[in-house]
Amino acid sequence: MHSYPAPALARVEEMTKAAAADPARAVSFQGAPGCNGHRAALEWDPGCLPLPCFSFEDALDAVKDGRADRAIIPIENSQHGRVADIHFLLPESGLHIVGEHFMPIHHALMALGTGPFTGAYSHPQALGQSRFYLRERGIVPMAYSDTAGAAAHVAALGDPQLCAIAPRIAAELYGLKVIDDNVEDAADNMTRFVVLARNPLDPASLAGRTTMTTFVFEVKNIPAALYKALGGFATNGVNMTKLESYQKGASFAATMFYADIIGAPGDPRVDRALEELAFHCKELRVLGTYPQELARG
């Protein structure tokens, strides 16, 4: 908690106290009050008690420790790709994906002064989503752990030549002026969040709804293993909407894959596809089956 800038601490303490009084309603998120994770928690569950956590690991640990019932974590952005480290953290957490939420992202430039500005603090994702805006104005991007925390940090520094890129609400929370709205480079900027809990949803409870299933796997180290492993999804008519690779460990000898499919275990087509995948894998772990919020394709 004490890694937050001073202007954010009082709000963090207040929200943490409320969540501790009713952890069954608590939804943990990474960042300071006013960040996009905070917004996403309230959009996904308007009756929840948002619990701010300094890092993604802290947000996941809050669920594992029982301080929150769920966590909401950004996993990918339409403009800037996947959120760093999330593909490692989700499997290691032992938690299960129980939902997804898509949220349009709009950034504001905020500061104590009116400019010109020498540097802008924000989360690396937000800086990447606003890189052309910053480059055109000669503003140096400076990474911070989250967007709203960056706003609180600028307020604490008191330097009128520094600014932050954050949701507009952060300016109201931390006493900054909104200099410019919608500084993101693309109007259709969208972030996908996943919701995690200690226990998975039973796929049978989702009958009649369009579902997503997310899993990670490592294929055997033989020629054409990935081609053969994925063949079962094609032959069984299962739509794979996402496939990404990432390195496991530092040896660069083992590649893990993260995948989303439309469907759920219990569907014979999905069961056959996963069975064929498992045959060609050294490791296969289903991270969750959950309702689809946004149609693919």
Identify the three-state secondary structure at position 274: helix
* Active-site option among 16, 147, 191, 289: 191
Question: Could you identify the residue written with the tokens 């939902």?
Answer: 99
Separation of CA 134 from chain center: 23
Task: Output phi, psi for 160, to 5 deg.
Answer: -70, -10
Identify the three-state secondary structure at position 14: helix
Let me know if 191 is a catalytic residue: yes
Beta-carbon count within 10 A of 3 CB: 12
Percent helix / strand / coil, the chain, rounded to 5: 35, 30, 35
Taking the C-alpha atoms of residue 238 and residue 162, their distance in angstroms, rounded to an integer, is: 50
Let me know if 102 is a catalytic residue: no
Residue type for position 185: D
Q: Give the DSSP H/E element, type plus range, for residue 70.
A: strand 70-77
Question: Could you identify the residue written with the tokens 């908690």?
Answer: 1
Q: Are 77 and 185 in contact (CB under 8 A)?
A: no
In 236-289, which residue ranges form alpha helices assigned H by DSSP?
Answer: 268-279
* Active-site option among 54, 56, 117, 193: 193
Active site residues: 191, 193
